[in-house]
Amino acid sequence: MSVFDVESAPVASHREPIPLSDIDMALTSQLVVAWAGETGEEHRLGWWRCDLASEYGGEDLFRRLLPSTWRWATLQGAREAARRVDAELRRHDHEPDRIVSLFSLGFELDERIEERLADLKRSGRTPDEALPGLAITHDGWHPDSFWDWVAGHGEAGGTAFPAGRRLSGSLPATVGQQARRLVAGLAPATERYPLPHFRRAL
């Protein structure tokens, strides 16, 4: 499936319900971090080498290619770049499948977030309308605002491991709590994406 595909897989009826607010919180967190991690003309964090969510980068191209969903496409493209970096760092661990990170929350949660993103793209709403938490991306890159946003998610605490920053404590029970801790784990700032993560129990 293309990263820009707006189709979603059918939702299986046997799956446990997850509050939509938790799914939206996780998706918003992914999109904000993906945006902030770009290299780009605004000289953001530079954690991934792309410039999709900026006026003279990907926006210009996607406005012409996808006039009705270009805002979603720029953020989705940045998110895909972030996911690839996240996956590459996870491979540094001897058991990468046990790592839970912001861009790899587990098969079922990742699938539901993808379905939600596809639904929102089809809804006709802009990202700002659908996910108000994206407001931080509206006025350009301001490092202090981004790190204040991170700090607003609390404190995580972590230890350096080959794959990245392993967070203290056990994996939270809900996807919303997981996303909050994983965003909090981005601090303190580092030159490369620190891969805040939990290790899933066997």
Confidence of residue 6 (pLDDT cuts 50, 70, 90): very low
Residue 142 CB coordination number (10 Å): 12
Confidence of residue 8 (pLDDT cuts 50, 70, 90): very low
Predicted pLDDT at 16: 74
The model's pLDDT over 38-66, given as tens digits with 9 standing for 90+, comes to: 987 778 999 998 876 666 666 666 566 66
Of 5-14, 82-91, 96-105, 126-135, minimum mean pLDDT range: 5-14
Confidence of residue 14 (pLDDT cuts 50, 70, 90): low
Predicted pLDDT at 12: 44
Q: Answer with the residue of higher pLDDT: 174 or 10.
A: 174
Mean pLDDT of 121-132: 94
Mean pLDDT of 127-154: 94
Pair of tokens at residue 56: 């003279």
Average pLDDT, the chain: 88
Predicted pLDDT at 143: 95
Predicted pLDDT at 27: 98
Predicted pLDDT at 66: 62
Q: Residue 10: is its pLDDT beyond 50? A: no
